Amino acid sequence: MKRIILRPRVYGQYRNRLLGIVQSEVEGMIAELDLQRLELDANKTDHIVASASGPDAEFVINLLAQEYGKSPEAHEVVPENTYWGQLVDVGKVGYGLYTDIGLQEPRIDALVPLHNLREQLRMQGNPLRKIARSLVLVDNLPVEVTVTEVNYDTNKIEAVFSSAFLQRFNSWINDDHERLLVFGANQQMVESTLRSSGHAEDIYQIEKLGHFEFALQCKRSTHASGILAAIGPKLRGVPMHLFIPNEVKRERVAKA
């Protein structure tokens, strides 16, 4: 049996539905291949785990890695390399932000220490909770981090935000479009909810941040809070967060 841990995580109110959607996607991709068995499940960290057996099992595993991305193995996590991940347990500790980069054996999340956050985000002297609240650094937010230190003896990985993530973040701040972040849904769910609420025309574009994470970029005449009020009840249990550039700028310069 060949096995792979994929990059996407399924979580929230629609966890089982999202897993079923991926199952259907995969079955469509491999319909013509020779497999004895294919199983998809989610592990304790909500990552999708795919297992396959049969003559084409290895090909299928490679195909899934290419299509969805795979979680790194321990020997692949080294300083100066960049990894995609999602913030987890935001606010539970005061010394930094943890990023789930998918590493399972050993099970370690990469820590972006507070001093690195203060320097990179230009919020010197601010406590972590204010930085996270002000800049909308929330659970499940997709990020890219560059590893700076790996020590498996102490189960410690430290990192900084990558230049690509900082560039995206700064572009949002300097944009005059408000955004609504929607996590734990697929694009079809988001689009159909916008249509049914009558707000599809109020969205300039849907930015895909991760497999089940999106930023709805509102038109200049549209307030993200209005979109949240309209679609929130229709996607109850799906985490949503407002990213308002003017508010982020104001919070960023406010005293701790």
What are 202-217's pLDDT values in tens digits? 999 999 999 999 999 9
Shared domain for 124 and 48, answered yes or no, is no
228 by Cβ neighbours in 10 Å (0-12 / 13-18 / 19+) ranks as middle
AA letter at 239: P
253 φ, ψ (degrees, to nearest 5):
-100, -10
Shared domain for 55 and 92, answered yes or no, is no
Specify the CATH number for the domain of residue 211: 3.30.70
Question: Structure pTM?
Answer: 0.95
Separation between Cα atoms, residue 97 and residue 71, nearest integer Å: 19
Q: Is residue 256 scored above 90 in pLDDT?
A: no
Range of the domain at 212: 175-253
- Mean pLDDT, residues 147-156: 97
Q: What angle do CA 220, 214, 209 make, to 5 degrees?
A: 110
- Mean pLDDT, residues 227-236: 97
Shared domain for 98 and 156, answered yes or no, is yes
- Identify the pLDDT of residue 10: 97
Q: Is residue 85 scored above 70 in pLDDT?
A: yes
- Identify the pLDDT of residue 255: 64
- Mean pLDDT, residues 134-155: 97
Q: Which of 68, 93, 120 is the last residue of a domain?
A: 68
Q: Which of 167, 187, 215 is the last residue of a domain?
A: 167
- Mean pLDDT, residues 64-68: 97
- Mean pLDDT, residues 188-200: 97
Confidence bin at 254 (pLDDT 50/70/90): confident
Among residues 24, 30, 29, 31, which one has the least CA distance to residue 48? Answer: 24
- Identify the pLDDT of residue 253: 80
- Mean pLDDT, residues 75-86: 98
Q: Is residue 248 scored above 60 in pLDDT?
A: yes
- Identify the pLDDT of residue 252: 85
Shared domain for 52 and 116, answered yes or no, is no
AA letter at 73: E
Shared domain for 87 and 136, answered yes or no, is yes
- Mean pLDDT, residues 68-96: 97
Contact 34, 55 (CB under 8 A): yes
- Identify the pLDDT of residue 181: 98
Shared domain for 79 and 163, answered yes or no, is yes
Q: Which of 167, 185, 210 is the last residue of a domain?
A: 167
Separation between Cα atoms, residue 22 and residue 10, nearest integer Å: 10
Contact 167, 118 (CB under 8 A): no
Specify the CATH number for the domain of residue 120: 2.40.50.140
DSSP string, 14-44: THHHHHHHHHHHHHHHTTTS--SEEEEEE-T
Shared domain for 90 and 140, answered yes or no, is yes
Shared domain for 58 and 95, answered yes or no, is no
Average pLDDT, rounded, for the chain: 96
Helix axes 15-29, 57-68, angle to 10 degrees: 120
Instruction: Give the CA distances from residue 97 to residues 201, 210, 241, in Å, rounded to whole numbers and listed in that order.
Output: 36, 19, 18
Contact 86, 100 (CB under 8 A): yes
Shared domain for 146 and 190, answered yes or no, is no
Shared domain for 87 and 61, answered yes or no, is no
CB neighbourhood size of 122 (10 A):
10
Q: Is residue 17 scored above 80 in pLDDT?
A: yes
How many domains are there within the chain? 3
Shared domain for 25 and 44, answered yes or no, is yes
Shared domain for 184 and 147, answered yes or no, is no
